[in-house]
Structure 1
Amino acid sequence: MQSRKVRTKVWLRSLMFMLALLLVLSLAGTAVAATLVSGDEYRLESGQVIEDNLYVAGEEIIIDGTVDGDLIAVGGYIEVNGRVTGDVLAAGGGIVINGAVEGDVRIAGGGLKVNGTIGGDLV
């Protein structure tokens, strides 16, 4: 019999996948260019620039660089320390926004913390 922790982890992974798929499918018609990334860990290093929308799904997502477009992220832990010139849409177990977001921020998760600057709405 699976422990509650294992069942919760399996459920969270399934939820993350479904949310990522839903986000990609719902936004695919409006995106001119996009960078799609998935895996256990994703890190955009300080000084690195993504010059279009970034779609990322993974256990741990760290954004220290610049996303010149929208950031759409689904993961266990998401941290934005860099700069996003568009909107941030994120769902995860824990989400921390320490950087600058010029657009709107729409986040859903277990633990949410916003220490950075947001140019638009926070939902």
Structure 2
Amino acid sequence: MTREIVMIFVFLSLSLIASFSAYFEDKKRKEYQNDERWQQITMKANTFTLYFIMCLSLVMFLLGLFAYFGLTSNSNLINQWNGSQFGATFMLGWLISQPFIIFITRIYLLFKYDKEL
């Protein structure tokens, strides 16, 4: 029962963050009338967000690779993940939290570049 409530809360939070991001971007686009400055701001934010996504994906890939193939036989944490369900739960939690991190990073970058440029 509590797992379903947590999942509902997670997806509700994600939808609120995504809605705020879309609202903020649309509001600023109308405010600046989609001029070159706003296009440059969104381009810089999109580029940095894409690099951030690639880095997060690389970290997840390496963690999964190390856990699956046991390349780190001396690491107790990785060995515990292999023998329990914690590794799968951690990976699922990480995959669920990635959209939050991405949306929050993009909103932060839009605010930052809006003030800088």
- Higher-Rg member (1/2): 2
Q: TM-score with structure 2 length normalisation?
A: 0.34
